Structure 1
């Protein structure tokens, strides 16, 4: 049984409400953001220029009339080739393990489930998560962790490990590219069954050869988000 199947099984026994992660309304337009090699617009020059890539994302959203861009779970992406953070030995990391929600800096982020603060950290490297929060949840006896990356630095203020959070609580906001790891504003939302001893960080991108291993630990975030059917 992979991680997604296990989460679905436990959610069927979960007695509490699953809330929103981002305030996506029923009538909001959602744009599927294709960041694979199949998108011919993503040339190396664009991806190496942080401001140009930011402008490209903003234009895609504006041209579509959509408030949010969405996508990425287990997507094999080209956008990491220009970032040394993902260039690991002979096999670079390119498989995206979470879902990205692209929107304006300052967009509020909510916790979908009751839980506690597991850890938090400003992963302040070029191409990294920037400010990151990890929450821990109990889903009918299953321990689940949720990760929120590319936040603004103010999101880490006044947090303490073990602090209680409630479903639907505003816990953070999207950061701008100067504080979120040098990415266009977006939320990286990811689920894990095991943090593997890590705190405030967990890989959001893996090598293609590792995909099978991560499928056993990283459930599909859309199980909670419920937005794929709108793309």
Structure 2
């Protein structure tokens, strides 16, 4: 059975506090740039944060969400993603909301690794959980967290489904981004610890999407 088959039969816990009966989720895309979201906006973190927050609030939404398999020129704001062939393809789902928003484990598992990836544009504090369902092992990554989210963690520490594991970090601690959660599924972690590429080169799209299936498989609202 594939990971998608296995997870389709599993009851998950919501990753954030969201009630679809009363709360609104705004779909957010950064694949197109225009006059509203210009380089002048996304190159300045404080301005970019205000832009994202205004979008969410003006739409009456509790959170904004989107971005899997999305090509984003906004990564040009950070040298972390530039090179001969720049990295621009987003491999996770972003959930945008206020700093301090609680994050919960969608499934039980154990702490695989954690680290503060403090390059500008990087994840900032990140946690990776390891899960096993019906004999299939896979991982979930949570990036752009608050620094306090890493306090008291230990590799191998057990995590229960629905347990609060972290909070959204502010832009001065989360790698320099508007407050949000980067959530990603990863089959094989390789040698990575507390980190795994969340953005890849377009030429490597097939390889990375095979190893990083759609995070919607673990999102339940």
Do the structures match in fold with TM over 0.5? yes
In structure 2, the residue matched to 1:82 is 77
Shift of 1:196: 1.4
- Give the whole-Å Cα distance in 2 for the aligned partners of 1:39 and 1:210: 27
- Give the whole-Å Cα distance in 2 for the aligned partners of 1:79 and 1:35: 7
**What do the CA deviations read for 1:88-132 (whole angstroms, capped 9, x no partner)?**
2x2111100000000000000000111000000000111000000
- Give the whole-Å Cα distance in 1 for the aligned partners of 2:208 and 2:89: 10
Q: Moved runs in structure 1, 4+ residues, more than 3 A?
A: none
In structure 1, the residue matched to 2:23 is 28
- Listed as ranges, the matches of 1:3-82 within 5 Å are 6-12=2-8, 14=10, 17-26=11-20, 27-37=22-32, 39-82=34-77
1:178 matches 2:153: no
Shift of 1:142: 0.7
TM-score, with length taken from structure 2: 0.96
- Give the whole-Å Cα distance in 2 for the aligned partners of 1:50 and 1:176: 11
In structure 2, the residue matched to 1:116 is 110
Q: Secondary structure at the match of 1:55?
A: helix
In structure 2, the residue matched to 1:106 is 100
Shift of 1:12: 4.8
- Give the whole-Å Cα distance in 2 for the aligned partners of 1:226 and 1:81: 32
- Extract unaligned runs of 5+ from structure 1: none
Shift of 1:41: 2.0
1:196 matches 2:185: no
- Extract unaligned runs of 5+ from structure 2: none
- Give the whole-Å Cα distance in 1 for the aligned partners of 2:29 and 2:7: 29
**What do the CA deviations read for 1:196-231 (whole angstroms, capped 9, x no partner)?**
11000000000111110012100101111146xxxx
Structure 1 window deviating more from structure 2 (33-42 vs 103-112): it is 33-42
- Give the whole-Å Cα distance in 2 for the aligned partners of 1:34 and 1:60: 11
Assess if the C-alpha contact under 8 Å between 2:13 and 2:220 holds in 1. Answer: no
In structure 2, the residue matched to 1:95 is 89
Q: Secondary structure at the match of 2:214?
A: coil
Number of residue-to-residue matches in the alignment = 220
1:166 matches 2:160: yes
Q: Secondary structure at the match of 1:34?
A: coil
TM-score, with length taken from structure 1: 0.92
Q: Secondary structure at the match of 1:79?
A: helix
Q: 1:12 to 1:186 in 2, by over 3 A?
A: closer
Shift of 1:47: 1.3
